[in-house]
Chains A and B, each alone.
Chain A
Amino acid sequence: MPACEITIEKIDFEEPIHIVRITGALDAYSFPDFEVKVREIFDKDGRNIILDFGKLDYISSAGLGALMGFAKIARQNKGDLIILKPTPKIGSIIDVLGLSKFIKVFWDEKTALNSFVSKAG
């Protein structure tokens, strides 16, 4: 199993947007670290989050379940949490589970960033 690396980039748009880039696998071992990092963003009033799945090879089903919880928190705070560039495999899992009806999925970063602008405007 590849290890997991998480980096966070803060972009100052009309409102700050946090891009969380995850490389490797989000499983039972790496998820706690990921959760702490996302919660830190929420704690600092960050409510717009892009999860860049471009280099994510694996995510457990429990991990996907927890993501839905984060999306709910973001929306309660009048922001949003979206997924960027999932691999075909993860994209298809999200699709089968019907989660794309619940969380927005984008394929390029610019459109993903703009989705927050159009919402704010």
Chain B
Amino acid sequence: MLAALILLFIYIRLKRKHFLLEKEKNALIQEKEVVVCFLQDIGEAFTEAMELDDLLKKIINCSINLVGASAGAIFLSDPQRKYLVAKIVEGIFPPMTNNIGLVADKVSTKTKYLEDILKKEKIEYGHSVIGEAAKKEVPILVEDGDKDDRVPKLKSDILRIRTMMAVPLKIKNEVIGVMAIVNKWSGRFTSTDLSLFSSLADQASVSINNARFYHSLAEKNRIDRDLEIAKDIQQLLIPEKCPDISGYQVASYSKAALELGGDYYDFINVDEDHLGIVIADVSGKGISAAIVMATFRGMLNIIARGNKSPKSVLSEINRIMYSDMKKDMFISVLYLILNTKDHSIVASRAGHEPILLIHDQGRKHKLIKGNGIVIGIDEGDIFDKNLEETSINLLKDDIIVLYTDGITEAMDMQRREFGRENLIDSVMVSSAENAENIAKNIEDRIARFTGGVEQHDDITLLVLKKV
């Protein structure tokens, strides 16, 4: 009899344990199903709208529905991880501090108004349930809000927090924010709810991380495209080949950089006996720099024809372009006019690198530095007052080198610059060669110096030799 009773008792215990295990299993299956459904919804959000705000909205709405809450919010951390601010609020989510809560209590309970208050509120790490979840990096369950000190006690019944849950959102072990929901449709949140909500938060973190990654990738692609377009424009503006000038050799070398850019050079027929030679560098990068360069080129091609004064040409261009240029943009320009009959040059330097003249059969060098300010900084009076014209008379074998700062500032691995001295030396040692070889020698010297280090600025070089 006793044995039968013991057996019955064991049977009941086992049955009960089995029942509990079955219940737990069912809860887990249900949780899994909910998470899968959540992931499907979030997956849709990814294909439908990749904006982070939309994604967060979808995440919080799914969570509210799946857990059965009346409101929810996602708070994101500041970069220093000192405080949190609500990024997305759905439903009536009460403010987390009492002071602001008081205002809200008195004035209004409108959802939009509450949302604005919540979004302005900075919740310090460690303060309130939200701040605590972020600081301690653990999910927090408040079963009974009335008995919990961390929950603000607001007079209005609609703002009363009866029950709430807050879980940290983590990416690679770092807290990026907190997801929270308040007030269950029926009853109070339980540990099973917290377990489900934590699983949702984990999936949400992954989704947020993916969305952020996608955005930085899209932004990078956009910048790359912008630079590609700018590079195409730049290539269109630069002459395909140097002109044939009787009595002279002309050679050029240019290399566009990935990041910066905005170098430009050109030859303009001023009249039958005068050839304009220009080299310029637009500050800044991308499409805006390319457009400024294109505008400059167009204007120069109109204004330079028939005008034998480089100063008056640059002065006119500066006055026209000044108002259209962004405040942080400018163009450094060196414009010279070569008289192909008497072999004289008149040059104006609007803030560009000076002309390098190698004379006396390669034995001497000189930097021709007339005064001048870059285009686009001053509306006209100071620019005109400071811009000078300098004259040079070219003799046989004289060499003129025009260049942009990408040459002198080309860097090696130790961040040392190629410098003007190296440039001068490169030209002097090869001064007996033709212009093509002189340019080639400079190019090779720079390549050897930089040793394959990717350069950040365009490199442009023009060599003119009187034969």
Contacts and interface: CB of A to CB of B under 8 A. Distances in A.
Interface string B361-389: 00000000001111011100010001000
B329 A98 contact: no
A63 interface: yes
Nearest to B417: A89
Contacts, number: 55
Contact of A69 (B327, B352, B374): B327
Given A98-B350, A98-B373, A65 B330 contact: yes
Interface size class of B (residues with CB under 8 A): 20 to 34
Majority secondary structure, B binding face = loop
Nearest to B378: A102
A98 B374 contact: yes
Interface of A: 61-66, 68-69, 93, 96-99, 101-102
Contact of A61 (B284, B373, B378, B382): B284
A99 B373 contact: yes
Interface in B319-358: 327-330, 332, 350-354
Interface of B: 283-284, 327-330, 332, 350-354, 371-374, 376-378, 382, 386, 405
Contacts of A101: 371, 373, 382, 386
B328 A97 contact: no
Contacts of B351: 96-99
10 smallest beta-carbon distances between A and B, as pairs: A98-B373, A61-B283, A65-B328, A66-B328, A69-B327, A97-B351, A98-B351, A62-B328, A101-B386, A68-B377
B450 to A, nearest CB: 17
A65 B289 CA distance: 13
B284 to A, nearest CB: 5
B284 A62 contact: yes
Given A97-B373, A98-B351, A101-B386, A69 B328 contact: yes
B25 to A, nearest CB: 53
